Amino acid sequence: MTDTQRLKPTMAVAPSQESSPSKLDAFLSVHPEIHIGRAALESLQSAHDGSDSFSIINKPFVNMVLYQEFDADTRERIYVVALIDDQKALDQYEQDCGGASNEDGCDCAENQEPEHMIYERVVEYKSADCENHKDEPEPDPDCSECWPVLCGSKRAP
């Protein structure tokens, strides 16, 4: 996995999630695996070189950005960090995502609320299918057809 791929995180936001402390606290209480805060993120990033990993960044609450790092080979989650009321994270999310999301109308978001945004692993939804670069030794990092479409999963395959 190249640095170019790592710099293109997947972004999503749950529709109209309230940031009430009770909902946020309830979400965090059922996910003790979530590390909290910028110091935790920086510590985990420095402990894992990230050379063969990718991230999914989403926003399950209006004041929380959820950062999940995955191993590119096994597609298992390496770590997950919640950045709460972190203006730098919120600004970066807004810049990268543009304040909108393809998941705004997602049925699973409506039914499962923020639960659908935390994954134990990712699975291949659609195989890469690029006719232009199929004979190249490595996929083109700027060609979306060179890469499989992945989606989050709660369970091992």
**Position 35, amino acid:** H
Q: Say if residues 45 and 35 touch (Cβ distance below 8 Å).
A: no
CA dihedral 88, 105, 19, 12 (to 10 degrees): -30
Using alpha carbons, list the distances in angstroms from residue 102 to 34, 106, 116.
24, 8, 14
Can you give the residue ranges of every domain in the chain?
3-153
DSSP annotation of 85 reads: S
pLDDT at 7: 40
- pLDDT, residue 140, reads 80
pLDDT of residue 114: 81
pLDDT averaged over consecutive 10-residue blocks of the chain (157 residues)?
41 49 89 96 88 88 92 92 95 79 46 77 77 81 76 57
Whole-model pTM over 0.75: no
pLDDT of residue 120: 87
Q: Please tell me the predicted confidence (pLDDT) of residue 126.
A: 72
Give the H/E segment covering residue 43: helix 38-47
Q: For residues 6 and 54, is the Cβ–Cβ distance under 8 A?
A: yes
